[in-house]
Structure 1
Amino acid sequence: MSSAQALSGAFAPVITPFHADGSIDVPRFLAHCQWLIQQGAGLAPFGTNSEANSLSFAERSALLGQMVEAGLPPSRMLPGTGACSAPEAAALSRQAIELGCAGVLMLPPFFYKGISDEGLYAFYADVIARIGDARLRLYLYHIPALSGVPITHAVIERLLRDFPGIVVGIKDSSGDWNNIETMLQRFPTLAVFPASESFLSRSRPLGGRGCISATVNINPGPISRLVESWHTDEGQVLQAQVDAVRKIAQAYPMIAALKEVMAQGLQDPDWRRLRAPLDLLPADKAASLLKDLQAAGFQLR
């Protein structure tokens, strides 16, 4: 795997298109990945906005292999390998290592709630031991609103101490700037990726590596440029532009909103499909979303 020091940029938790029978639409998925790469973004498949927890282990494993076979660069891939069971998380992570992915993004075990710091540490330590490969680059995934399992600073500190060069980063989806800022200051070796591009102009000066954001799926070029030019006059303009798009999109159920934008922008209604239990945007909400984006000057491509 590539070094943690080299991993930066805007990464998309790649949305997953489906056929009418509910199976993954691999050609559409790969075409979307190719476009994201061409726009300067990285790929974080099997994230929250990928509907990852509605995909089976076999589906994730097969699709990861197909991404590499299609010529997508593993050095720009950060697949989600989290699972409630340590054996499953370890197995998908081992595959990512063998394929040369830049790292893996790993949720905490999210079924049991109220688990202790000791229990959470033991889970990650167990997964690392099962993988048993020094090439592992593990990025923690802090999303307490959905997982119900916060990754505390005490757990981060212990993992960094006990697994140097293995535990190397974190995606923070808390939306809490104070937490992001504290991690950047307290853990200077940790690659911190906020889950929103709206934090870029604040996080980058403190050493933030970029973002892993849902809206990179639809706005990859401007967000990728902002990661690099945050400190310039262009960066100020870009920050305002991407903030406007983000504010509109996050006012709706995010996955359905992203797929609606894809369907409309590509004139491809098949992009609207979601797996249960998620629902399509109602027609009035879809129209409002698209109207607001148009008013903000947004174009998909």
Structure 2
Amino acid sequence: MSSNRNAEVFAPALTPLHDDLRVNRDAFVRFCRWLVAQGAGLAVFGTNSEASSLSMAEKIDLLQALVEAKIPPGRMMPGVGLCALPETIELTRAALALGCTATLTLPPFYYKPVDDDGLFAYYAEIIQAVGSSALKMYLYHIPQFTGVGISHALIARLIDAYPQTVVGIKDSSGDWANTEGMLRSFPGFRVFPASESLLEKALPLGAAGCISATANVQPGAIAAAIAQWGTDGFAPLQGRIHAVRTLFQKYPMIPALKHAVGRATGEQAWRRVRPPLRALDGGLAQPLEAGLSALGFSMEAL
């Protein structure tokens, strides 16, 4: 067993909203600056970014805003997977044009059932249409949301066909056996579990780190834990970040995370979500805040 010394944490950056539910561009840029300063990369337009509630135009505009703000594109892994193949291709091209070579690509998630041949064709069409050797595609396995799984056989087929392009995966299945199987079956393939709670088990098997919802609220702590892997300092850090993750998992994740950021910043924009999601009400907000206080939790320098 060998840990990946290049392991890192990415946050599926939350998206702040104005009172008319337009994206708050300035607050988004400020938050992403903080995440990067804390040691996290930006998996913008991930699930917890409310990606499926954002238009493609909004996503491209926000990527442009980050680049204009001098946030290094190399620290970004934008989510680009959409149901319509031409839109996925267009968004991937836009990300590459802005210098974001790493992309996180959901499978198409409307038609079901879809077999591996159909999914292989989808990913192959993206790669061939984009036609760039710079593209580094990360697959996104979250079948509880998409209803479309990414099998180990499909991963092997894509790696074989596009070894320089299909370079990793985010496994959000919540199934450790599946994550472990990926880590053992595909050495050198960058596997990101979706929870910092799994670092203790995943890093010894060569995990690439994690892409975690709660990296939005504890990016520095997760980055510090990864940096301390293999030392006596890791276990207490792992314990603390696991406790925070466990607390947030008791609540609707996106509203809870946005409530916590709103609590730290005092900005109402952070508590807003786009329908059909609903902001955390008092009955849930109060115990969340009590739990955070009990943990001595704070969002440093935000």
In structure 2, C-alpha distance between the alignment counterparts of 1:267 and 1:91, rounded to whole Å: 37
Is the CA contact 1:257–1:286 (under 8 Å) kept in the aligned structure 2? yes
8 A contact 1:143–1:150 mirrored in 2: yes
Partner of 1:31: 30
Question: Aligned pair 1:136/2:135, yes or no?
Answer: yes
Shift of 1:272: 0.4
State the shift of 1:60 in Å: 0.5
Other-structure match for 2:155: 156
Structure 1 pair 7–55 and aligned structure 2 pair: CA distance change class (3 A): farther
Q: CA deviation at 1:270?
A: 2.3
Distance in 1 separating the partners of 2:101 and 2:208: 14
Identity among equivalent positions (%) equals 50
Alpha carbons 1:110, 1:149 under 8 Å: kept: yes
Q: Shift of residue 184 of structure 1?
A: 0.7
Secondary structure in structure 1 of the residue aligned to 2:10: strand
User: Could you state the TM-score of these two structures normalised by the residue count of structure 2?
Assistant: 0.96
* Unaligned segments of structure 1, at least 5 residues: none
- Corresponding position of 1:254: 253
Q: Which runs of 5+ in 2 are unaligned?
A: none
Give a deviation string over 1:41-78, Cα, whole Å, max 9, x none: 11010000000000011111111111101111111100
For 1:234, the equivalent position in structure 2 comes to: 233
Q: Letter of the 1:164 partner, please give it.
A: P
| CA–CA distance in structure 1, aligned partners of residues 247 and 231 of structure 2 | 25
Alpha-carbon distance between aligned partners in 1 of 2:138 and 2:106, rounded to the nearest angstrom: 9
Q: CA deviation at 1:294?
A: 1.0
Contact 1:87 1:130 in 2 (8 A): no
Distance 1:234 1:19 in 2: 41
The CA deviation string for residues 115-140 of structure 1, in whole angstroms up to 9 with x for no partner, is: 11111111111111111111110000
Q: CA RMSD in A?
A: 1.2
Q: In the aligned structure 2, how far is the partner of 1:118 from the partner of 1:228?
A: 40
Q: Could you tell me which residue of structure 1 aligns to residue 272 of structure 2?
A: 273
Q: In 2, distance between residues paired with 1:74 and 1:252?
A: 32
Show the 5 A alignment for 1:9-48.
9-48=8-47
Shift of 1:94: 1.2
Instruction: Write out the 4+ residue segments of structure 1 that deviate beyond 4 Å after TM superposition.
Output: none
Equivalent residue number for residue 98 of structure 2:
99
Deviation of 1:154 (Å): 0.6
Q: Distance in 1 between matches of 2:163 and 2:109?
A: 25
* Deviation by residue 1:99-158 (Cα, 9 ceiling, x = unmatched): 222400000001112111111111111111111111110000000000100000010000
Which residue in 2 is equivalent to 1:76? 75
What TM-score results when the alignment is normalised by the length of structure 1? 0.96
Contact 1:76–1:102 (CA under 8 A) maintained in structure 2: no
